[in-house]
Structure 1
């Protein structure tokens, strides 16, 4: 016999640990412009630290910056380390171990006190939170963004 609260716990874990669904937005093709070495040097000098494409965009579009997305100003020191952490989290046995525990609860093979069940629910939420924070830190999009 399956307890109703364990079904909810199982559903909550499944939905919070699911991989994000890719959103397919049609991208507008980029515009390519070639410059001579002298022209590029002049542009780089004028850009004074700004990316060349950002400088050229600002120069051409003037004050029409209302729809431009801003980059995050918080620096990330090591993208590869964050990517490795996200990969380790995905490959770890944590998710399957928690699913096994939830299955045992549903099948009535494991009975938990409410406090332990709440801690398990919190652990599922914590794992989903860590995953989402890593995805955000890497500049990726997770479900619902």
Structure 2
């Protein structure tokens, strides 16, 4: 394969935009003697071209809070409690007694604490 064929096969697909008739006419007028493609490239790649998108900043993480959270998850019975509740629900053997109520309330409190701590550790608003 010669060099011309090799460079042609590596080309990426063209970029396409839709313009209204008025937008196209304005673009042709602004391009003057330049081709539309040449004019668009000169505007888009100009050093002073406006930048409209800003990349989202990755939140700074608090390693200490994340470590505390992982420690809390490790010592927590939330997963075990929820698993047992789900098992009994699926078996139809769930008995709503004061112990279950206490376990559910404790699980909810721990999930809320975990959520708050995660949001804080990730530097996000609560």
Ranked by relative contact order (alpha carbons within 8 Å, sequence separation 6 or more), the top structure is 1
Q: Give TM-score scaled by structure 1 length.
A: 0.35
Q: Give TM-score scaled by structure 2 length.
A: 0.40
